[in-house]
Amino acid sequence: MNIAKDYFKKQWKNEEFRHTYLEEKVKLDIEYHLEELKKDIKSQKPAEELINRVNFIEQYVLNA
């Protein structure tokens, strides 16, 4: 595990790597939150809860 940590730290110093990593992380986070929203819609959660989830995703995207 130390080898992987050291490699990651070394790569993190590279701006292109850091940018690409963070971009992919944001994409995966948004995808996850959208899947959770779909589950909530399918399970017919209250509208207020769905709206809160949409607002959360919207803020996440705007601040990304």
Segment 26-63, tens digit of pLDDT: 999 999 999 999 999 999 999 999 999 999 999 999 99
CA 24/CA 10 separation, integer angstroms: 19
What is the rounded average pLDDT of the residues 4-27? 95
Instruction: In whole angstroms, give the CA distance from residue 33 to residue 4.
Output: 28
CA angle 46, 50, 55 (to 5 degrees): 145
**Helix, strand, coil abundance in the chain, percent, nearest 5:** 90, 0, 10
Indicate the pTM of the whole model.
Answer: 0.78
| Residue 11 pLDDT > 80 | yes
Q: Is residue 64 very low, low, confident or very high in pLDDT (cuts 50, 70, 90)?
A: confident
